[in-house]
Amino acid sequence: MLEVRWLGNSCVEVVSSRRILIDPCYTVEPEAPADIILVTHEHSDHINPEHLAKARKPETRVYAPKSTLEAYGIQGTPVRGGDEFEGVRAFSVECWKAAECIAYLADGVLHAGDAADFPSTRAVVAFTACYPEYYSRYVESMLKVRPRLVVPVHYSPEKHMDRALGLVEELRRAGLEARLLKPGEKLKLSGVLD
């Protein structure tokens, strides 16, 4: 079984046989410290050093682009597109004004930070930003990936709910399953890719 929680901003908590936290900048705290923390890029809405410190335990492994580790002085393992580690695949993607940006496929969950173009891979669930000017690119990417579910992230429910709702509508119109999660809401999925 695969359990995911959106924690606000672009932060996603993934629980399977291990606990993974992606982009530790959240509005709802993780339920427990992570075994692995993955950071897509250096923007402050994707990594908050205080949140990173709270979400880790002594044995937590942190993976991020080298530029992100250096920008924040974080001890971790630098990641580049094409790397595979601990059952996680890393892909180079373009994020707006980022020095480097990495999309991750971990335990069936695909997360690409701010990227509008996702790597061609399979996923159980994909988390995507929801900027209206990129709706067509998100839809095109998700039609290639064909996840069981697409969940918009990287928006403020109080200020920009219309962005997320608009993307859900566009994805559904294209024949894709999409839904919103409230910050902190759990979603349980079968983790088997078929």
Q: Give CA–CA dist 152/17, Å, rounded.
A: 25
Q: What are the φ and ψ backbone dihedral angles of 66, each rounded to 5 degrees?
A: -55, -40
What pLDDT score does 169 carry? Answer: 98
- Going residue by residue through the chain, which has 194 residues, state the pLDDT in tens, using 9 for 90 and above: 899 999 999 999 999 999 999 999 999 999 999 999 999 988 788 999 999 999 999 999 999 999 999 999 999 999 999 999 999 999 999 887 778 899 999 999 999 998 988 998 999 999 999 999 999 999 999 999 999 999 999 998 889 999 999 999 999 999 999 999 999 999 998 755 54
Count CB-CB contacts under 10 A for residue 11: 29
pLDDT of residue 192: 59
d(CA 29, CA 100): 26
pLDDT in the model for residue 43:
77
Which tens digits make up the pLDDT trace of 132-181?
999 999 999 999 999 999 999 999 888 999 999 999 999 999 999 999 99
Instruction: Look up the pTM and report it.
Output: 0.95
Give the pLDDT confidence score for residue 41 in this predicted structure. 85
pLDDT at 194: 46
For β-strands 77-78 and 84-85, DSSP reports them as unpaired
Q: Which one of 1.10.287.610, 1.10.3720.10, 3.60.15.10, 3.40.50.720 gives the CATH number of domain 2-185?
A: 3.60.15.10
How confident is the model at residue 152, as a pLDDT?
98
